[in-house]
Amino acid sequence: FLARLGERYGFTPPYAPGHAAIASMQAICTGQARALICMGGNFALAMPDREASAVPLTQLDLAVHVATKLNRSHLLTARHSYILPVLGRSEIDMQKSGAQAVTVEDSMSMIHASRGVLKPAGVMLKSECAVVAGIAQAALPQSVVAWEYLVEDYDRIRNDIEAVLPEFADYN
């Protein structure tokens, strides 16, 4: 996977393993991790020992939560904390090419399209894709990845997934 990802985007991805949720919390508790970026979910309440997890989360230098709705994890603020509200799946996600569909995996491990039908709760809300792409573009301005181009039409993202993971042929 990493070799194909690097080929597709012209970079050498890190091969060192990252952290799953529990290992992330352990890294936070030991001070190995000083920042946390959460894409949805309720990180603090997902931990087996909620009380033991609370204090270390408040000692982080940075916490960023990309979220469709508020949750209790957002109350455990780091030195610098940001909540980036995003469109929910029920809301229309309008991009340059038109209304978008996101792909989701259901409880039966089936992947299907999900299209919002409700008017967005606010005119300034962006999609998760747009927020991630915006952060990537700001952090890596010389990136070979055309972040804005991908966000304009989510089919392009799925095409890139297919190029990296052939088992997703005909993903669109």
Q: Kindly list the domain boundaries of the chain, sorted by start residue.
A: 1-85, 87-172
Q: By the 8 A CB rule, do 78 and 62 touch?
A: yes
Confidence of residue 34 (pLDDT cuts 50, 70, 90): very high
Rounded to two decimals, the pTM is: 0.89
pLDDT grade, residue 164 (50/70/90)? very high
pLDDT in tens, 2-28: 999 999 999 999 999 999 999 999 999
Q: At residue 111, does pLDDT exceed 90?
A: no
* Residues ≥6 apart with Cβ < 8 Å to 46: 21
What pLDDT is stored for residue 9 in this prediction? Answer: 93
154-164 and 2-9 helices, crossing angle to 10°? 130
Any alpha helices (H) in 42-153, and if so which ranges? 43-46, 50-58, 128-139, 147-152
Quote the pLDDT of residue 110: 87
Q: What is the model's pLDDT at position 146?
A: 95
Q: Is the pLDDT of residue 169 over 90?
A: no
By the 8 A CB rule, do 40 and 104 touch? Answer: no
